[in-house]
Amino acid sequence: MDDKVKSKFLIFFIVVTVCFMIFIAALLYWSSVDLQRLNLQTSDTRMSLRGSILSADDYTLASSQRLYKVMVDTRNIDPEQKDLFVKLYSLYSNSDEGEVKKIIESKNGSVVLSYSMDSKSAKLLQSLGSKLLKRGVFKTNGMSFLHGLDIIQSGESRVYPHKDTLSPIVGYTRKIEQNAITRREGVKGLERYYEDALSFAQDIYIAGYRDVIDTIILNRKVKVKEPINGQDIRLSIPLKLQKMVERKLDLHKTRLEAKEIIAVVMKSDTGDIISLASSNRYDANSLKQDDYPFLNIQSAEYIYEPGSVMKPIVYALLLNNGKINPKDIFRTYGGEYNMGRYTIKDEHKFKSEWISARDAIVYSSNVVMAQLGQKLDAREYYDGLRAFGFGEKSGIDLTYENGGDKISVNHFKNEIARSTIGYGYGINVNFMQLIKAFNVFNNDGLLINPKIVSYIVDKKNIIHEIKNEESVRVISENTANTIKQTLIDTVKDGSGTKAFVDGVITGGKTGTAQIAQGGVYHRRYNSSFIGFANDGSGSKYTIGVLVIEPSREYFSSQSAAPIFKDIVLCMLEEGKLLRQEQ
């Protein structure tokens, strides 16, 4: 063999050897890629969810669900089967075919088909993705790895199945971004107050090997860190009763042309709220600008001069301090009582020039209460109202409670202040403070905080009861029973007859107060009725109604008292009270 032939053979051998080495190197490279995709241990984090809010009768009032982002690489879709992909994807995801096609054709590469697919649709799409891979709708074009539908958790949404029921008490949430995941945090109501309990503690963590379609293989070798979802909270409020009360408030708001009507029903011995309703509600699933005025919880945030519902409280202080006897007689002065440059008037004139201290409550005399207020000294007045809970928050488990006026002992050194507070002017309070104070009369003289949540359920389904603080004695049991009987007489024969319900022990007090603005009282009013309803089986409830600025029938005897009666009738219908045979 000559040198020329040998050289050609050597060159051919070198070329073949180089090609073979390139081929082997390519095999090794693609094998390593496949091995990485098949065998490389990796991890995945899946988000946990916010806890739910449940009613006393086990209805879900607020819950969270996962949202998913759906992506596809358009380069992996077989052009001849693009229409089939669009049709099937639209069918499985309940999407508009035209919109899906527009997204697919907008870019040659990775596109997002949805940012907020719900869990049910995401599961269907995962199934669809596997079917399309097997059918060959997805195929590699040599320019990118083969991918089907990529479905990635993008966040959580908050759902309120019963729409506006129990708003604004339940409250609402807002979106926050954490590590490219959309979370939820409470803004108002129970969502905010119980944020620490409701918010998640730990996401799901999974480590293992991936299969060819990027899914972690769930076998014995997989490592899983269990999720710690937010805890559930359960209210003392049953949904059915709440809906009934809300419907009544809606009807009466129309009848009275009021700005808002609020109602509270509380178990007198435990402080458990079984209804806390407003006529002004919103659907937290779709908040609108028109809803903004309704976002505040007026029962705890709105402060006002309460009017005559303060009379039994001041009357109780007088009795408890031994300053008066219910039968003591006081002059009515023809319905007008002058104190310096101030004139205190009764809404109606009494037939007699003299009435008893008891009748000042039953028939609601401002003139007599102004005189009675003078019998307490500054310290007795101050200590007494503080003991009833005024000057501080009621303690209800709601955010942003306005505690009303920060009263001081010096304020009661003024005789005008002592007189006007006696019939509910010159002091600003919130409605829950009044409910808490009135409850003393139906709870044997003991003060207890109102509360809405009964218990919290943790990740192990262990129940953690929300225990109320120990009750505190404010007045003697004898004084409480005397006031209680006076309030029963008020409903039977006095200013609260429209609240009477046959077969139920009902008592309460009306309160109509003018609204001051800029130091001047205008012809705008708040009307209220606060009292109790008991039956022979031992059920005892404190119930209150506040009508804010009614345009019709502003006197509380005609506005708030009939609403109180309707609520008691709802409670009878629901078996919360049992009617006694007469």
Mean pLDDT of the chain: 89
Dump pLDDT digits (tens) for 287-306: 999 999 999 999 999 999 99
**Rounded mean pLDDT of 446-453?**
98
Work out the percent of the chain whose per-residue pLDDT is above 90: 66
Instruction: Give yes or no for residue 36 having a pLDDT over 50.
Output: no
What are the contacts of 377-384 at 24+ separation with CB within 8 A? 377/412, 378/409, 378/410, 378/412, 378/413, 378/418, 379/409, 379/412, 380/317, 380/321, 380/323, 381/317, 381/412, 381/418, 381/421, 382/407, 382/408, 382/409, 382/411, 382/412, 384/317, 384/320, 384/321
Q: In the chain, helix, strand, coil percent, each to 5?
A: 35, 25, 35
Top pLDDT among 516 and 571 is at 571
Residue 259: count other Cβ atoms within 10 Å of its Cβ.
17
Work out the percent of the chain whose per-residue pLDDT is above 70: 87
Lowest-confidence segment of 149-153, 232-236, 297-301, 451-455 by average pLDDT: 149-153
Q: And the tokens for 405?
A: 């006026």
Q: Which residues have CB under 8 Å from 253's CB, separation 6+?
A: 260, 261, 279
Q: How far does CA 85 lie from the centroid of its chain?
A: 43
How deeply is 438 buried, as exposed, middle or buried, from its count of CB atoms within 10 A (0-12, 13-18, 19+)?
buried
Give, for 457, the enclosing helix (H) or strand (E).
Answer: strand 453-457
Dump pLDDT digits (tens) for 194-203: 999 999 766 6
CATH architecture of 44-209: Alpha-Beta Complex (3.90)
Top pLDDT among 148 and 338 is at 338
**Rounded mean pLDDT of 467-486?**
95
Dump pLDDT digits (tens) for 393-422: 999 999 999 999 988 999 999 999 999 999
**Rounded mean pLDDT of 168-185?**
88
- The reply to whether the predicted model has a pTM over 0.95 is no
Q: Which amino acid is located at 461 in the chain? A: N
**Rounded mean pLDDT of 374-399?**
96
The CATH number assigned to the domain with range 239-282+298-573 reads 3.40.710.10
The pLDDT, as a whole number, for residue 37 is: 45
**Rounded mean pLDDT of 338-345?**
88
312 touches 474 (CB < 8 A): no
Residue 223: count other Cβ atoms within 10 Å of its Cβ.
10
The pLDDT, as a whole number, for residue 340 is: 81
Bridge partner list, 66: 156
Instruction: Give yes or no for residue 470 having a pLDDT over 70.
Output: yes
The pLDDT, as a whole number, for residue 287 is: 93
Residues forming CATH 3.90.1310.10 domain(s) in the chain: 44-209
**Rounded mean pLDDT of 449-472?**
92
The pLDDT, as a whole number, for residue 38 is: 43
- Say how far apart CA 374 and CA 61 lie, in whole Å: 50
The pLDDT, as a whole number, for residue 179 is: 73
511 touches 308 (CB < 8 A): yes
User: What are phi and psi for residue 404, nearest 5 degrees?
Assistant: 75, -160
Top pLDDT among 549 and 180 is at 549
Instruction: Give yes or no for residue 356 having a pLDDT over 50.
Output: yes
Residues forming CATH 3.40.710.10 domain(s) in the chain: 239-282+298-573
**Rounded mean pLDDT of 363-392?**
95
203 touches 46 (CB < 8 A): yes
Q: How far does CA 291 lie from the centroid of its chain?
A: 15
The pLDDT, as a whole number, for residue 22 is: 72
353 touches 320 (CB < 8 A): no
Residue 267: count other Cβ atoms within 10 Å of its Cβ.
20
Q: Which amino acid is located at 377 in the chain? A: D
The pLDDT, as a whole number, for residue 35 is: 42
pLDDT band at 561 (very low <50, low <70, confident <90, very high): very high
The total number of residues written for the chain in this structure:
582
- Say how far apart CA 547 and CA 563 lie, in whole Å: 9
The pLDDT, as a whole number, for residue 250 is: 98
Lowest-confidence segment of 112-116, 318-322, 398-402 by average pLDDT: 112-116
